[in-house]
A = this chain, B = another copy of it.
């Protein structure tokens, strides 16, 4: 299990066995069943999660009860309601499991402690945040400039395995189209 996290970190910065043991000591582990929630809208958010196995959906439900999907997160991805996590405000997202899921949990306090005690950790999280920022900039550009068809094709190319694992209704919601439009695109 913890091998995943080590490989993931070492894509950015190499660690000694002792350093990795120190990093890992700042995490706790959690197993959830399909349909369980990590957080629900309105909750306090104490953790950021690294997905060891499984699949998580991050979504927001608007006033007319429509669900909008911000993100999916599968193996090796990080997920949280980062606004609620960093600013200690109530969650505006729900995170729920689309499969049985195992995560490693990092509290904000432990994250700050780890980063201040081990610069390699601070370096890793800075680079991850940089890459995450780029991915979101691309998502915004994609929402502004491309049609649903193009977004569908981009997603199929970038994350083929998501298409096997995510129900079509949820993919449609992520892409901002109706289930019927998605059927037309994917046929």
Q: A163 interface residue, CB < 8 Å from B?
A: no
**A51-66 interface mask toward B, CB cutoff 8 Å, 1 = contact, 0 = none?**
0000000001010001
> Which of B133, B136, B141 sits near A92, CB closer than 8 Å?
B141
Q: A138 interface residue, CB < 8 Å from B?
A: yes
Q: A3 interface residue, CB < 8 Å from B?
A: no
Per the bound structure, the CA–CA distance linking A15 and B60 in Å amounts to 39
Segment with Cβ contacts to B, from A16-24, A97-105, A120-128, A151-159? A120-128
Assuming the contacts A115-B123, A119-B119, A129-B129, asked whether A68 and B134 have C-beta atoms less than 8 A apart, the reply is: no
- Interface pair B145/A136, CB less than 8 Å apart: no
Chain B residues with CB below 8 A from A115, complex form: 123, 126
Per the bound structure, the CA–CA distance linking A82 and B127 in Å amounts to 12
- Interface pair B137/A86, CB less than 8 Å apart: no
Per the bound structure, the CA–CA distance linking A131 and B123 in Å amounts to 16
User: Which interface class (under 10, 10 to 19, 20 to 34, 35 or more) fits A?
Assistant: 20 to 34
Per the bound structure, the CA–CA distance linking A92 and B144 in Å amounts to 14
- Interface pair A143/B141, CB less than 8 Å apart: no
Chain B residues with CB below 8 A from A86, complex form: 130-131, 134
Per the bound structure, the CA–CA distance linking A68 and B136 in Å amounts to 16
Most buried by B among A87, A116, A140: A140
Chain B residues with CB below 8 A from A70, complex form: 137, 140-141, 144
Chain B residues with CB below 8 A from A119, complex form: 119, 122
Q: A14 interface residue, CB < 8 Å from B?
A: no
Chain B residues with CB below 8 A from A143, complex form: 140, 143-144
Closest 6 A-B residue pairs measured CB to CB? A129-B129, A136-B136, A126-B126, A68-B144, A83-B134, A62-B145
